[in-house]
A and B are shown apart, each in its own frame.
Chain A
Amino acid sequence: MTWLIGLYPPAWRRRYGRELAELIATRPASFSTAIDLVAGAIDAWFNPQSSTATAADAKGAREMIPKMLQLKCAGYGPDVTAADSRKAAAVTIGGTLVLTLVLLSAMVRYGSNPYLESFLAMSWLLPVLFGQRYTTLKGRPGRVQAVLIAGPAAIVIAIALATAWINALARG
């Protein structure tokens, strides 16, 4: 699970990365730890602390947030070509089809249950997020893309799990 440290800003990783890796290694991998690390990484990008910033880093961080938020009204970055739009559409449609087929196959094989139903209902959201690599997030640094895709993806998965859990409880 130490790979999630890669989601943190470089200056943050230089200052706390080794310590954080040691702490992660002392506990079993779990979904809640993963969510905690993703939330910590998002916080570290949006709230850079002076303990992790050199002068250059601080300047970069100040510029990073306006750059990350520089989304145009149409939802696209400045250099999105027709080919990019086709790639995004292919990822969205293809990903949705693949996920739907996998989940339907699992339902046929193992029977329907609240968890499969919940993920099936949200199966289009994850491909939409990944498709943003070619549109909204195009040209942004890889780590920024990773945070802005993995963060919302983790939230979507958490919502799907919570919804399924509530459904399972309701069904007894």
Chain B
Amino acid sequence: MARRDDVADLEEFGRFAEPALLILVSLADGAKHGYAITEDIASYAGVRFGPGSLYGAIARLESRGLIEALEAEDRRNPYQLTAAGEKALRARLASMQAVAKVGQRRLASA
């Protein structure tokens, strides 16, 4: 499957690729701080990342401009998706959707 070069590729995050994707999905409906991100991911994906893994992924996403920190509220820094982050998330989800469709079609015809 062709990859668009202007879209950030989460695969380069290595072991942080999965937490990074789930963080982007979590932020897709609005800004959240670290604890809220953890709880949201636990509720929709059933995965609870350790604090080191979560902030390892947040640091990478922020460094690549896919998320940005907002002003601290109540000593917590909320994060929100940037335009580049939204684009990367859309590309990633489309790619996953294409793979899922192929998989389901093949299973149905097996």
A36 and B59 contact, CB distance less than 8 A: no
What is the bound-complex CA distance between A32 and B48, given in angstroms? Answer: 12
Q: List 29 A-B contacts (CB under 8 A).
A: A15-B59, A16-B55, A16-B59, A19-B33, A19-B76, A19-B77, A20-B34, A20-B51, A22-B34, A22-B35, A22-B76, A23-B38, A24-B51, A32-B50, A33-B51, A36-B53, A37-B50, A39-B52, A39-B53, A40-B51, A40-B53, A40-B56, A41-B52, A43-B52, A44-B56, A49-B59, A49-B62, A49-B63, A51-B62
Chain A interface, >50% SS class = helix
Chain B interface, >50% SS class = helix
Selected from B54, B59, B60, B63, the residue in CB contact (under 8 A) with A23 is: B54
* Chain B proximity mask over A52-82: 1 for CB below 8 Å, otherwise 0: 1000000000000000000000000000000
What is the bound-complex CA distance between A38 and B51, given in angstroms? Answer: 11
B interface list, Cβ under 8 A from A = 33-35, 38, 49-56, 58-60, 62-63, 75-77
A20 and B50 contact, CB distance less than 8 A: no
Selected from B49, B58, B75, the residue in CB contact (under 8 A) with A16 is: B58
Interface residues of A in 8-49 (CB under 8 A from B): 12, 15-16, 18-20, 22-24, 26-27, 32-33, 35-41, 43-44, 49
CB nearest to A2 among chain B residues = B51
* B78 to A: closest C-beta gap in Å: 10
Instruction: Name the B residues within 8 Å of A33 (CB-CB).
Output: 50-51
A interface list, Cβ under 8 A from B = 12, 15-16, 18-20, 22-24, 26-27, 32-33, 35-41, 43-44, 49-52
A50 and B52 contact, CB distance less than 8 A: no
Q: Contacts A22-B34, A33-B50: A52 and B77 contacting too (C-beta < 8 A)? A: no
Q: Contacts A18-B75, A22-B75: A37 and B59 contacting too (C-beta < 8 A)? A: no
B58 and A37 contact, CB distance less than 8 A: no
Q: Contacts A26-B35, A32-B50: A20 and B59 contacting too (C-beta < 8 A)? A: no
Instruction: Name the B residues within 8 Å of A44 (CB-CB).
Output: 56, 59
